[in-house]
Amino acid sequence: MSEGEYKVPIKEPIKTKDLDPDFKYEIADTYLGRHITACFKCGACTGGCPVGILTEIYKPRQIIGEALLGMREKVLTGGELWLCATCYTCEDRCPQKVNITDVIIALRNMAFREGHTPEALIEQARNMVETGWIQKTTASMDKRREELGLSRLPKMAVEDMQKIVKATGFIKYLYKKEDKK
Ligand code: SF4
Ligand code: SF4
């Protein structure tokens, strides 16, 4: 093959022994994932997905297809799930009325419960619970705002949110044992 000629990317073949045939039923048993089995893999969701247009790795049809095939580990640990912008464009386009965005959220919930949430998102959730902002302000940010003539960001009332995360048990997912509050 001459230099510059297109090469088909070689992917690892799927091993049937690694598939979980019950995964699609596990998803369909959830309220948000209940329509997943109606997908006939037409690709209209991927064709209209704004995140898919900007990245090569995010394709909602592929996620739904892998989930239907039983690729549990790949879907829940692969990280693509967290790229969805929850814009619902895919749902408007799906001829089978699959609630794709909700399916993605159902899969995120499963991934979260099993500890596969990207650390950056956990950090944002912690910041939100502690300060009301997903990004904690720093001294240098305060200084820069002052230089620009901007007021300091206000302190947010987080007490009610902290009560909710404690009452729902969500808090145990935010802090590891060693740093639990
Ligand atoms: S648009 Fe609907 S039917 Fe087509 S691949 Fe996406 S989820 Fe499946
Ligand atoms: S909701 Fe997510 S998967 Fe659907 S079009 Fe928007 S970014 Fe893509």
Residues 121 and 98: their CA atoms lie apart, in Å, by 27
For ligand 1, is residue 43 a contact (CB within 6 Å)?
A: yes
Q: At 155, give phi and psi (nearest 5°).
A: -75, 135
Q: For 18-113, CATH number?
A: 1.10.1060.10
Which ligand is closest to the CA of 102, given by its number? 2
Name the residue ranges covered by the structural domains of the chain.
18-113, 119-179
Residue 177 reports pLDDT greater than 80: no
Q: pTM of the full predicted structure?
A: 0.83
pLDDT at 176: 73
Helix, strand, coil % over all residues of the chain, rounded to 5: 55, 0, 45
Residue-wise pLDDT tens digits, 70-100: 999 999 999 999 999 999 999 999 999 999 9
* Ligand 1 binding pocket mutation candidate from 98, 104, 107 (most atoms within 8 A of CB): 98
**How many residues make up the chain in this entry?**
181
More confident residue, 7 or 144: 144
Residue at 33: amino acid letter: G
Residues 75 and 15: their CA atoms lie apart, in Å, by 15
Which ligand is closest to the CA of 67, given by its number? 1
> Ligand 1: which atom is nearest the Cα of residue 100?
7
* Ligand 1 binding pocket mutation candidate from 100, 101, 103 (most atoms within 8 A of CB): 100
Asked whether the beta carbons of 39 and 33 are under 8 A apart, the reply is no
Asked whether the beta carbons of 133 and 89 are under 8 A apart, the reply is no
Between the two ends of the chain, the Cα-to-Cα distance in Å is: 60
Residue-wise pLDDT tens digits, 126-165: 999 999 999 988 899 999 999 999 998 888 899 999 999 9
The DSSP result for 39-58, as a single string, is -----HHHHH-HHHHH-SS-
